Amino acid sequence: MNTPGPGEERGLRTDPLGDLPTDFEVFYTRENSGYLRYAQQRLRHREDAQDAVQNAGATLYKNWRRALASADPQAFAFKIVKDAVVDVLRERRRAERKRLRVIAQRRPDTSQDELDELAELDALDWAMDELARAAPVQADVVRLRQAGLSYHDIGRSLGIAHTTARTYYSLGRRHLEYLLEHPEDDGGAET
């Protein structure tokens, strides 16, 4: 997921295995920062992101031969990272439900500013969840782009052309803006 430097080619690779290192440690060291940026953008906490990427690394190490044998090892690896992030999100939701059951027995003291900030994050989370349900690839492109990846790297990770990644980013952002401006429409579905 490295961004090409000045003067380097930005087009799609014709051979996805062309510059792929066969050594797991070299591959993981090279790609780790991109995975971490994606996980941190999605999870919003560096520690959770590090845990998810570390778990993904362990899984990828166990399946390294399968990754090399796949049509696109980078896409295979990114799928493992996405699954690890989803696992952390699921665990977080389970813990949140448990915490809410405890809190339901007493009312916490919170300021209005804290509640407003939480409402903004909840709205963004809701909009991203709606986008992921309606257009999962667009949601992934938006998350990766917000994590700082180039369109070329996003295309490689998701197995799409970089021009398609640019289009999906634009469409995904417009969809998110619409959802945030019209939350009463429940995901833009017309009745």
Q: How far is the C-alpha of 159 from the C-alpha of 181, rounded, in Å?
A: 31
- pLDDT, residue 102, reads 65
Q: Residues in the chain with pLDDT < 70? A: 1-20, 102-121, 185-191
Does residue 118 sit in the same domain as residue 74? no
User: How does pLDDT run across 45-90, given as a tens digit for each residue?
Assistant: 899 999 999 999 999 999 999 999 998 899 999 999 999 999 998 8
Please choose, from the candidates 86, 26, 84, the residue with its C-alpha nearest in 3D space to the C-alpha of residue 56. 84
Tokens of 33: 């920062």
Residue 77 lies in a domain: yes
Q: What is the CATH number of the domain that holds 183?
A: 1.10.10
Residues 179 and 141 in one domain: yes
- 149 to 49, 52, 110, 130, 187: CA distances (angstroms): 16, 18, 37, 22, 27
DSSP code, position 7: T
Where a domain ends, among 92, 108, 124?
A: 108
**What distance in Å separates the CA atoms of residue 34 and residue 78, rounded to the nearest whole number?**
10
Question: Same domain for 32 and 58?
Answer: yes
144 shares a domain with 81:
no
Q: Structural domain tally of the chain?
A: 2
In this prediction, residue 191 carries a pLDDT of 37
Q: What is the pLDDT of residue 59?
A: 94
Q: Are residues 36 and 100 in the same domain?
A: yes
Residue 10 lies in a domain: no
End-of-domain residue from the set 89, 108, 127: 108
Final residue belonging to a domain, choices 52, 76, 108:
108
Q: Are residues 98 and 38 in the same domain?
A: yes
Q: Verify that 119 and 101 share a domain, yes or no.
A: no
Check whether residue 115 and residue 98 sit in a common domain.
no
Domain interval for residue 74: 17-108
